[in-house]
Structure 1
């Protein structure tokens, strides 16, 4: 048989191609599962790569015990209340920042020369249960593609009453749905703390032009806990499941008073939910291997098998990369404010003036020594730096410390701009953004001054005085004219000069 005849025969009825394709692309299927799990139906479709994914999962479960892939978008999470920062280890947090940045960029593109864009959001109430996600367009598209796959698999039945392709399609879809129902997906994707009051900042780190700030107000997922990504081998991630945990009784007896804390049920030293995942993954790996044998044995209508697999492959690739609103990740957000400046320091200072939480960001983006006027600004004497900025106000903008009134987006709820991931009605009606000074910044200053690093020398020079900006935040709603701000600045300067004259540190009482 010549080459032309071989190629013609292969294109008429491809052989062994589908078997080879079934063992590639497992990482795409893994990301699709990470994106789509959380409901009774998982929008992942039977596709090439499912067999490879089954064995990737088996290796991960035996190894580190995780189902979620590693983060594919760099994120550093800051708790702006305590000042602590940590590198993200959770896939969901990375996608959360990626999608919010993309949505903000479409609505408020960066201007030429913009150095920093700080987007501020408030968390809204999440109506889902602690272990459930919302239905979304992903599920609709997944169901449509699955129905189309079944239609393609029905062609051999209609023509020759051959049900081999239909059998492979139905069994593969069933195995995928069993994988998506594993509770460990939700255990890894959601934290135990889902009513956080802290203020968080998400950024890709020093050098990034975007910072996303989320004000918890007792409604936010604990992003600090999520970014730590505790191992599913320990009890903590399973305590939010009622049926996989039990209450802790105060008197150590089941007849006593139960506390609000729960403890995961265990089996052979592992949480029951993790043990279920291990058993299920072993069984699924064997079943996928048997299904692969059936695929290799199918010699007729191989184009139908390729069609079913190709539909699922493109659906899963789209699902793995799809952009989701934050509400579909159980963290609905309300857009509050955006700070965009040409100089990064200007933007962080404006953020500190408005929200009083700029110190951790300043230390991340400026780990070295500061200029003398910047040192004075963070000590509370803002005059010299702000005057220099005012001379170049066309490019750098007016400092928020010199604005006669606050930005309308932070005071007038009627002027709020709703973004696609926010609810239709804001829960509060007037002056809902009011931030009380955090006493934990005092501990932060003490920790910085006692450090031995080069950055701590800079902090010791600064004194990290934050009382002025906190005092400013307290009186924000009372400001209305430029004269009020000028009088307040004069009083601050007098207090500063008096402290200098007596030889006391600026932040001492």
Structure 2
């Protein structure tokens, strides 16, 4: 059985029939992607988790942590869950080097506290204006500065561990209002409420993620009301980065804080909380990937939130914004580092000698310098011996029973 051969008319009609799955040209695909970006927002929600974590470290400590809804929250939520299960720690390590020195020990500790790292990093921004004037006058007279030491004391007028609310804190609230305003545009113009709902849910999740109580516990994991005198410094080579903080039985124990100890709390609540937030952020990611109309509004909202997060991460802040409230006492400015340490030692016992090994590692000093610090050490040893002898005498006196006690009187003669 033979089939008839196709005629030319039939061949032409077969080849010229239109197809429904024609591939668009490159220009059409590019134009369509810019009109409706597709899954770009869902991809961007995965990027930038480290920015979100640092922004939370900056603003946490209050009942409400206003870090804006932006890109990176989904990945951060998964990372926070892993940190709560594994490391038992949410706050990141400091991104600025520094040392904390106990003036009595003198023990030098590598700083592991986020807030102390930022206090040392932003010192040029928040230091007292009188220090700048002193340095300007000194430079005009001497030509160079060897070392500037700023003396601060813990404030008695403010509660340690309760941060001041600066413009960075309120920027998160203003950003949230601005984002909701942008999200309301498609609802008002085209009755598309999906962008507004997604933005409101994202802001709620962002504020809830930052308000976890463990953030505050980790941030201020130290003893309070200390009388320690500690020194914050970047080390040798930084001529104006030495800060002396006198505890005066108020404020935070900065040496404890520098240790970066893990929070001594039950992690069950944190693990459950972070697990729920990770699920909620994943559900939001799935919902965002299904939005096809007006996606540019959601992209703009994410960009605005990311700008706020980046500014919060990098902008300098005063110590009070971290809950470390300080009051300026005085500053010591000298042309030579050794001279500055000697003047500091004369005004504040043990503080200058605690910095000798930091600024002069190896102990290579001139003979007169060695003689000076040997004299200081001998005086310290003499005071310590006298103090111990006084304590021993007081203890011996307290242990003696009075001779005129009625119970120890001799019995009457018969």
Residue-by-residue CA offset, 1:189-209 (whole Å, 9 max, x unaligned): 113422111111001123222
Alignment CA distance shift 1:131-1:94 (3 Å): closer
For the residue of structure 2 that corresponds to 1:119, the secondary structure is: strand
For the residue of structure 2 that corresponds to 1:465, the secondary structure is: helix
Alignment of 1:336-351 (within 5 A): 336-351=329-344
Choose from 352, 355, 362 the match for 1:358. 352
Choose from 377, 380, 392 the match for 1:464. 377
**1:119 has 2:119 as partner:** no
Alignment CA distance shift 1:113-1:4 (3 Å): farther
For the residue of structure 2 that corresponds to 1:315, the secondary structure is: helix
Alignment of 1:103-502 (within 5 A): 103-104=126-127, 108=132, 111=139, 113-125=144-156, 127-128=158-159, 132-209=162-239, 210-232=241-263, 235=264, 271-272=265-266, 274-356=267-349, 357-368=351-362, 369-380=364-375, 464-467=377-380
Aligned-pair Cα RMSD in Å: 2.3
Alignment CA distance shift 1:161-1:99 (3 Å): same
Which segments of 5 or more consecutive residues in structure 1 lack a partner in the other structure? 236-270, 381-462, 471-509
Residue-by-residue CA offset, 1:423-461 (whole Å, 9 max, x unaligned): xxxxxxxxxxxxxxxxxxxxxxxxxxxxxxxxxxxxxxx
Equivalent pair of 1:132/1:186 in contact (CA under 8 Å): no
Size of the aligned set, in residue pairs, is 350
Determine the structure 2 residue equivalent to 1:40.
63
Equivalent pair of 2:225/2:249 in contact (CA under 8 Å): yes
For the residue of structure 1 that corresponds to 2:127, the secondary structure is: helix
For the residue of structure 1 that corresponds to 2:332, the secondary structure is: strand
Residue-by-residue CA offset, 1:115-161 (whole Å, 9 max, x unaligned): 32211111112533x66433332232211110000011111211222
Alignment CA distance shift 1:134-1:124 (3 Å): same
Alignment of 1:63-78 (within 5 A): 63-78=86-101
The offset of 1:467, in angstroms, is: 4.4
**Structure possessing the higher relative contact order (Cα contacts under 8 Å, 6 or more residues apart):** 2
Provide the C-alpha distance between the structure 2 equivalents of 1:122 and 1:192, rounded to a whole number of angstroms.
18
Provide the C-alpha distance between the structure 1 equivalents of 2:113 and 2:222, rounded to a whole number of angstroms.
14
Rg (Cα) greater in structure: 2
Alignment CA distance shift 1:133-1:103 (3 Å): closer
Alignment CA distance shift 1:30-1:126 (3 Å): farther
For the residue of structure 1 that corresponds to 2:377, the secondary structure is: coil
For the residue of structure 1 that corresponds to 2:378, the secondary structure is: coil
Determine the structure 2 residue equivalent to 1:61.
84
Equivalent pair of 1:191/1:221 in contact (CA under 8 Å): no
The offset of 1:27, in angstroms, is: 0.5
More displaced stretch, 4-13 vs 212-221: 4-13
Provide the C-alpha distance between the structure 2 equivalents of 1:8 and 1:158, rounded to a whole number of angstroms.
26
For the residue of structure 1 that corresponds to 2:355, the secondary structure is: helix
More displaced stretch, 8-17 vs 65-74: 8-17
Equivalent pair of 1:131/1:187 in contact (CA under 8 Å): no
Alignment CA distance shift 1:469-1:302 (3 Å): farther
Equivalent pair of 1:37/1:181 in contact (CA under 8 Å): yes
Alignment CA distance shift 1:121-1:105 (3 Å): closer
For the residue of structure 2 that corresponds to 1:207, the secondary structure is: coil
Equivalent pair of 1:32/1:317 in contact (CA under 8 Å): yes
Residue-by-residue CA offset, 1:23-80 (whole Å, 9 max, x unaligned): 1110010011011112232120100111111122122222211110111111110111
Provide the C-alpha distance between the structure 2 equivalents of 1:39 and 1:145, rounded to a whole number of angstroms.
18
Provide the C-alpha distance between the structure 2 equivalents of 1:466 and 1:298, rounded to a whole number of angstroms.
76
Equivalent pair of 1:378/1:466 in contact (CA under 8 Å): no
Equivalent pair of 2:154/2:250 in contact (CA under 8 Å): yes
Q: TM-score, normalised by structure 1?
A: 0.65
Equivalent pair of 2:47/2:71 in contact (CA under 8 Å): yes
Structure 1 runs of 4+ off > 4 angstroms?
109-112, 467-470
**1:99 has 2:122 as partner:** yes
The offset of 1:341, in angstroms, is: 2.3
Determine the structure 2 residue equivalent to 1:402.
none
Provide the C-alpha distance between the structure 2 equivalents of 1:469 and 1:6, rounded to a whole number of angstroms.
85
Provide the C-alpha distance between the structure 2 equivalents of 1:96 and 1:196, rounded to a whole number of angstroms.
19
Provide the C-alpha distance between the structure 1 equivalents of 2:162 and 2:216, rounded to a whole number of angstroms.
7
**1:15 has 2:38 as partner:** yes
